[in-house]
A and B are shown apart, each in its own frame.
Chain A
């Protein structure tokens, strides 16, 4: 059976989570330690800033106590203290939980993409250490497939839900790939800096920084491997830059429609994306009416982020349905796989009875034509198949609860006299 013991951002405050957090370099060592606990057949450890989960396969449910003690010792706390924050899942609940986690459905920001990579890392670490058994291997392989399918089919992670990311998303809607573009950052407001940082991460060609204080501009430019420009020379850069981020504390407009018209003329009407993150605004709203200029202020971007959040929630509902279907299909596969040895034995047993009885019958009846013999053989085979049909069906569709499955298997073995 599979068991999960863990805590996350909903069940534990940050001071508890940070005590259990497993830094990357220690992940292998901690996973190996988990596998080393008595009664654990296979083990993986998933650790992110929002969750720590020990997932094990075992034949003994008492192992849960051992894992709780082990986690309490790791967090240097008492078992009673830790238990308040823990959740314990078994069998199908673990499958559903892991599918949801890897798809980003259980994340603080629904649909965030990093979690998929973190689940994969937990799997690969355990795989390299050899702490996985076949059950956990199948579970993780299926989890990664489901996570990929959820992302591809529902597009749950495609939409930005923060203002800086919304700006990057819009830039992509205008320019496609951002590599090769030039960015002009006006001022050193926090949001502007963050947006420029995101654009820089998209490998834009160059970031120019203009600020009233040239030293501050130089400092920021260094951060983005860019260049500092004099504040009074922004007109030149309006013509050469494709994205302009305004985030100064100036109480008036710094960019007027005439400047943008001139810039667009000299850049042969190539599109210009202007992001005004300042309050009071730095770019005259009239700029937004110019063909080829796309102006978004902080409210517009917040609206985009809010709409995206709504979209993500809608996608999440679709993703939940998909996950449920996948859980059911995985359960059926595991149960069917579990039943294979009994089914094979059952088939062999009845085939042996059929062959023996057929032989006796043929000897008693005496000589007969080939057609007659074939008819009797067909009759016996069909009869055996019909007898086996329902027991096999029951074995394949048995409950996910291992005890119930085992009880059914024992009954069938007893009835058919299997060893």
Chain B
């Protein structure tokens, strides 16, 4: 990778780190300026991040999702893009306390691995494979946002029930917004993720004549899919406030992380 491309990734990382720090510090002060400063830093990081993705796309001719280094970075980018969209729509500050660290974590993971960017083997290249990679990554990003907002809904519900305010009380939007964003993100994310898995199975069938291998990545992905399906059903049944839902979300999140860590070239 050229110095310029690596540099933009590190610039993004530094901006994300400072933005996350500012957002977390704002928990201890009511001054919204700190939150706004954090958001500006995150947006600056996002611009550098976008530049990095653009560079990789130009060089390889496909999105940067062929190894863990690229996938982690691309997932972080999509997660922040969705978060930014939601902020514009709902002005939800509290999500930043979960989403910014998640974005930072993913990009740190990517930077620590620091592999060379990968050009897909021409034999592997197909629209189905690209669709599998893109849809799975975007689906995972939406599901992560859904989990973050689900957690906010749970915290808000507890605070209202127990009549106790925590530090997040002021930053969390109404229960109705948390629930509706969480449900929509999960529903959209689950559909996209399912399509991504189907594309992966189809591609596997075409190239190896088997439906899928049973390696960590595949097992993690399928377990996550099942857990998210159950989670979605909980939402439809109106049981999104329960402790079980939070445990399910945590399980699904871990399964997704396991699947991601299992990604290799």
Contact = CB atoms under 8 A, between A and B. Distances in A.
Interface of A: 152-155, 158, 170, 172-176, 268-271, 288, 291-292, 294, 296, 300, 303-304, 307, 311, 314-315, 318
A172 B174 contact: yes
Contacts of A300: 163
7 contacts: A152-B32, A175-B174, A176-B177, A269-B237, A288-B161, A291-B239, A307-B165
Contacts of A304: 163
A318 B33 CA distance: 13
A155 B30 contact: yes
Interface string B212-250: 000000000000000000000000011101100000000
Contact of A268 (B31, B163, B174, B238): B238
Contact of A303 (B163, B175, B177): B163
Contacts of B30: 154-155, 311, 314-315, 318
Nearest to A174: B175
Nearest 9 interchain pairs by C-beta: A269-B238, A176-B174, A176-B176, A175-B176, A174-B175, A176-B177, A294-B160, A155-B30, A153-B31
A311 B165 CA distance: 12
B189 interface: no
A291 B174 CA distance: 17
In terms of DSSP, what is the predominant structure of the interface of chain A? helix
Interface string B166-207: 000010011111000000000000000000000000000000
A175 B160 CA distance: 12
A76 to B, nearest CB: 46
Interface residues of B, number: 20
B96 interface: no
Nearest to A297: B163
Main secondary structure of the interface of B (DSSP, over half): loop
A174 B174 contact: yes
Nearest to B30: A155
B242 A173 contact: no
Contacts, number: 52
Contacts of B31: 153-154, 318
A117 B32 CA distance: 22
B137 interface: no
Contacts of B237: 269
B156 interface: yes
Contacts of A268: 238
Contact of B238 (A152, A292, A294): A292
A326 B228 CA distance: 52
A319 to B, nearest CB: 10
A338 to B, nearest CB: 31
Contact of A291 (B170, B176, B242): B242
A304 B177 CA distance: 22
A292 B32 contact: no
Given A153-B32, A300-B163, A318-B30, A292 B241 contact: yes
A174 B241 CA distance: 13
A178 to B, nearest CB: 10
A176 B173 contact: yes
A43 B117 CA distance: 70
User: Among the interface residues A152, A158, A271, A315, which one has the most CB atoms of the partner chain B within 10 A?
Assistant: A271
Contacts of A291: 239, 241-242
Contact of A155 (B32, B173, B176, B238): B32
A173 B163 contact: no
A305 to B, nearest CB: 13
Given A176-B174, A271-B175, A294-B161, A153 B238 contact: no
Contacts of A318: 30-31
Given A155-B30, A173-B160, A294-B161, A271 B242 contact: no
B178 to A, nearest CB: 9
Contacts of A294: 160-161
> Which of A155, A176, A288, A318 has the most CB atoms of chain B within a 10 A radius of its CB?
A176
B184 to A, nearest CB: 14
A8 to B, nearest CB: 27
B241 to A, nearest CB: 6
Given A153-B33, A176-B173, 9 more contacts: A155-B170, A158-B170, A269-B238, A288-B161, A291-B242, A292-B238, A300-B163, A311-B30, A315-B30
Contacts of A174: 160, 174-176
A170 B173 contact: no
Contacts of A158: 170
Nearest to B237: A269
Nearest to A156: B30
A267 B191 CA distance: 27
Contacts of A303: 163
Contact of B156 (A154, A173, A292): A173
A127 B161 CA distance: 51
